């Protein structure tokens, strides 16, 4: 056998040997997820995922949190009650994947850490509320002058009334009030519920919202803004829920709207569930918007609470020429953690 023939035989044998030992790419099969929800209201859920030919599992816990769990076995603690769709992606050594999901319902006990039930008649509790005062449009072309008078903010019959009036006052044609907990109370993460009945008059712009404690140093929008509820001035059944931060500075920011047919005649519960992973906005316990939270956003510091009724402005719009007075009525403000 000459030297060239011998080389061809060696190449042929080597090539056949490699082909016989190649590993086919196989996707995981029979993905199964089991979940055991704790009954002690701790929020703990024990998950077990399994699949044939899987070497790792990615868990999407249905709240914006995703974790890689090589063993497929983990205990995850939810911080808010709710129904969650948990999706698991099983991955094989060859990089292929298969998935399955499971529905769970979690009950988490939250503690009431701050509230005002507005049971003491007269001016709002000065240990809980202070005021923004004055006019100037407040950056939104508003037309009211905010006062601390009992004419514009009063507690009676178990509710707080923030009252907008048509009157000449210090150069403005309207008065109202803007109450805030700045310097008195702030919090980071938790749930806030506000039960409110909104004004019916065209041109009124009520809001339930929060600002970051560092607004005096960082300014807006770097401090962050969480608008739990803003009512459209010319469509009184449209409610806005909005998050503002440096990348979202326009009027509608990062959020959406929802419709309530009786916002001005019935108390509704306006809420935010604020977590390290997400911020959810709710009306009557129904989530209508979710923002994924992350460390680059300003929503990981203490925020204070604001309640106000503006007149006109960018969301209030044209004021009814026949307007004389109207109010936002608040039954309670409650913060849970």
Residues 175 and 253 in one domain: yes
At residue 207 the predicted structure's pLDDT band, cuts being 50, 70 and 90, is: very high
Last residue of a domain, one of 80, 106, 132: 106
CA-nearest of 289, 297, 303 to 337 is 303
Domain contains 21: no
Domain contains 313: yes
* Cα(125)–Cα(160) distance, integer angstroms: 10
Domain contains 7: no
Last residue of a domain, one of 86, 106, 126: 106
Residues 296 and 222 in one domain: yes
Per residue in 106-165, pLDDT (tens digit) is: 988 899 999 999 999 999 999 999 999 999 999 999 999 999 999 999 999 999 999 999
User: What is the tally of structural domains in the chain?
Assistant: 2
pLDDT of residue 11: 39
Domain contains 22: no
Domain contains 16: no
* Cα(156)–Cα(166) distance, integer angstroms: 21
pLDDT of residue 23: 60
Domain contains 53: yes
Instruction: State the pTM of this model.
Output: 0.78
Which residue(s) pair with 290 in the sheet? 280
Per residue in 237-266, pLDDT (tens digit) is: 999 999 999 988 666 678 999 999 999 999
Could you list the residue range(s) of the whole structural domain that residue 286 is in?
112-336
* Four-point Cα dihedral 92, 94, 98, 99, nearest 10: 60
Residues 211 and 228 in one domain: yes
Domain contains 289: yes
Catalytic machinery residues: 225, 230
* Cα(225)–Cα(239) distance, integer angstroms: 16
pLDDT of residue 271: 98
Taking all residues of the chain, what is their mean pLDDT, rounded to a whole number? Answer: 92
* Cα(208)–Cα(2) distance, integer angstroms: 92
Domain contains 3: no
β-strands 29-37, 178-180: how paired? unpaired
Residues 53 and 197 in one domain: no
CA-to-CA separations, 78 to 65, 197, 325, in angstroms, rounded: 10, 31, 45
Residues 190 and 212 in one domain: yes
Residues 150 and 195 in one domain: yes
Residues 76 and 126 in one domain: no
* Cα(210)–Cα(228) distance, integer angstroms: 8
Last residue of a domain, one of 81, 106, 131: 106
Contact 11, 19 (CB under 8 A): no
Residues 159 and 48 in one domain: no
* Cα(60)–Cα(292) distance, integer angstroms: 13
């Amino acid at each position: 056998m000459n030297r060239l023939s011998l080389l061809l035989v060696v190449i042929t044998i080597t090539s056949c040997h490699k082909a016989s030992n190649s590993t086919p790419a196989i996707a995981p099969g029979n993905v199964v997820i089991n979940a055991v929800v704790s009954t002690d209201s701790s929020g703990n859920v024990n998950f077990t995922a399994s699949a044939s030919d899987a070497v790792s599992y990615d868990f999407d816990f249905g709240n914006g949190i995703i974790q890689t769990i090589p063993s497929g076995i983990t205990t995850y603690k939810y911080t808010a009650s709710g129904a969650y769709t948990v999706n698991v992606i099983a991955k094989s050594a060859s990089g292929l994947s298969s998935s399955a999901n499971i529905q769970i319902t979690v009950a988490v006990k939250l503690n009431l850490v701050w509230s005002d039930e507005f049971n003491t008649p007269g001016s709002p509790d000065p240990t809980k509320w202070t005021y923004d005062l004055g006019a100037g449009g407040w950056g939104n072309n508003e037309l009211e002058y905010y006062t601390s008078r009992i004419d514009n903010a009063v507690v009676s019959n178990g509710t707080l009334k923030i009252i907008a009036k048509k009157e000449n006052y210090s150069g403005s044609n309207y008065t109202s009030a803007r109450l805030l907990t700045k310097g008195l109370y702030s919090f980071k993460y938790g749930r806030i519920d506000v039960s409110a009945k909104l004004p019916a008059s065209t041109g009124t712009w009520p809001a339930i919202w929060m600002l970051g404690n560092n607004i005096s140093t960082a300014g807006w929008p770097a401090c962050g803004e969480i608008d739990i509820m803003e009512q459209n001035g010319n469509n009184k059944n449209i409610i806005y829920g909005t998050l503002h931060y440096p990348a979202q500075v326009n009027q509608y920011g990062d959020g959406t709207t929802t419709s309530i047919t009786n916002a001005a005649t019935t108390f509704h519960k306006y809420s935010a569930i604020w977590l390290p992973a997400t911020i959810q906005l709710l009306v009557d316990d129904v989530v209508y918007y979710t923002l994924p939270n992350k460390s680059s956003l300003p929503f990981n510091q203490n925020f204070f609470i604001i309640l106000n009724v503006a007149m006109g402005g960018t969301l209030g719009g044209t004021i009814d020429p026949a307007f004389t007075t109207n109010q936002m009525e608040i039954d309670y403000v409650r913060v849970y953690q």
